[in-house]
Amino acid sequence: MDEIEVPQYFICPISLQIMKDPVTAITGITYDRDSIEHWLFTNKNTTYCPVTKQPLPLDSDLTPNHTLRRLIQSWCTQNASLGIDRIPTPKPPLTKTHVLKLLKNFDDPSVQLKSLIQLELLAAENERNRKCLLEARVPKAMILFIVDCYRKKGSIFEGLEEALSFLQFVKVPTEEINNLLAENDDIIDSLIWVLSIEVKNSIFVKSHAILVLKRFINKVNTFVLERLKPEFFERIVKILRKDSITQQGLCSALQVLLCACPLGRNRLMMVEVGAVFELVEVELISQEKRITELTFSILFHLCSCANGRAQFLSHEGSIALLSERILKVSMDVDDRAVFILSLISKFSATKIVLQEMLNVGIVNKLFMLLQANHAKYLKDKAMEIIKSHSDVWKNSPCFPQTFCYESLHW
């Protein structure tokens, strides 16, 4: 195809490929529909015509250029022997009328699953469809369908996977989240319930559910966070275990826990359901920087209470884990790790704990951190830990004598 001269006006200015569905924007420039719609979708805050740089509203009309499409199709047919693929006539755009018809079928059990599958496929197809589905408020219908499944516990949950998958493509708008929660008390409970059931493709279903839950929790007001129940944390902590959800789902589950951490009652409930122990287990096998940052942030919050610290120290690998991660992942991880150590140093520093900190290299890492390019407040915190227990550590052969006297008077 490199040897064939393609008419320039057949080429999309964005993709630089032959246009399959040419549409003309209000600026007079013609683009391939998929390319310009993707451009508009990914540049929502600063939408402009890629060629003329003139403003191009997100909801501006894109007029099908049927004449150009027929010319392109004719040219492709004429050059088929040279390896040019014929471009099929594009399907007509999805209409709100068709979407509303599919939504109406939600009330008919005989065609409900078929409608859910069709809506999921439409959402996966292109940005134009997603915009139409959003305007028809299909995300709300999907959330209410999930709530209905929750209320009919014990039934066959056909369509649950499709509804949750749909919500990965077409997200519930921010302004609608709090409205939905105000109207329906069962939404959070229904998403948490999904985490406890076993269905076909359970790993993906639960992962999709926790992704939706993360979007809701990130937008809710404090009043909702104050009403979370122990079951909420119990079910999330349970899916942290290996092979329960996808890596993306695990990251979302950690973000949900972190979002709930600022409230003391939530931290206590997390500790009571064994969150600290499970987080250490997750981190021991994690190879992902983002997972480590989230895990250490949550552990810092949970170690602010006595039971949290006790649970942390009860895990045989917890102190060694801190030593292993300091200066190896990111500054954020170093920050959280040092503050966890500070809490332990102040409130839980038994002789056994202090000896273990020395044995696994924590003390040495703190001295190394003093030499690293870190913020002064963090170095001060590290020095505070060292000074607090230097009388216990300084006579040990594991104590780095090289830095000892200079650093302690720093």
Which amino acid would we find at residue 129? N
Q: For the segment 158-197, what is each residue's pLDDT rounded down to a tens digit?
A: 889 999 999 999 988 888 888 888 888 899 999 999 998 8
In whole angstroms, give the CA distance from residue 121 to residue 138: 13
3-class SS of residue 342: helix
Q: Residue length, the chain?
A: 410
Residues 6+ apart with CB under 8 A from 96: 132, 135, 136
- Give dist(CA 391, CA 410) in Å, integer: 17
d(CA 117, CA 159): 8
pLDDT at 399 over 80: no
Q: Is residue 104 part of a domain?
A: no
Q: Is 248 inside a domain boundary? A: no
The CATH number of the domain where 57 resides is what? 3.30.40.10
In a domain, 73, yes or no: yes
Directed axis angle between helix 160-169 and helix 202-219, to 10°? 50
Average confidence (pLDDT) over 291-296: 96
Residue type for position 106: F
pLDDT at 123 over 50: yes
Residue 125 is assigned to a structural domain of this protein: no
Residue numbers of the domain that contains 65: 8-82
pLDDT band for 272, please (50, 70, 90 cuts): very high
Under 8 Å between Cβ of 8 and 15 = no
Q: What is the mean pLDDT of residues 76-100?
A: 84
Res 48 pLDDT > 80: yes
Pairing mode, if any, of strands 22-24 and 30-32?
antiparallel
**Of all residues in the chain, what percent carry a pLDDT higher than 70?**
94
pLDDT class of 321 with cuts at 50, 70, 90: very high
Structure tokens at 86: 């014929």
Q: Domain for residue 100, yes or no?
A: no
| H or E stretch covering 23 | strand 22-24
Structure tokens at 329: 């992942």
Taking the chain, what is the end-to-end CA distance rounded to the nearest angstrom? 70
pLDDT at 45 over 70: no
Phi-psi region of 171 (alpha: psi -120 to 50; beta: other; left: phi over 0): beta
pTM: 0.80
**List of E strands, 164-308:** none
> pLDDT at position 1, please?
47
User: What is the band of 405 on the pLDDT scale with cuts at 50, 70, 90?
Assistant: very low
Beta bridge partners of 11: 18
Q: What is the mean pLDDT of the chain?
A: 88
Q: Is residue 68 part of a domain?
A: yes
Give the pLDDT of residue 401: 59
pLDDT digits (tens, 9 = 90+) for 343-373: 999 999 999 999 999 999 999 899 999 988 9
Look up residue 209 and give its two tokens. Answer: 């559910």
Residue range 117-138: average pLDDT?
90
- What's the domain count of the chain? 1
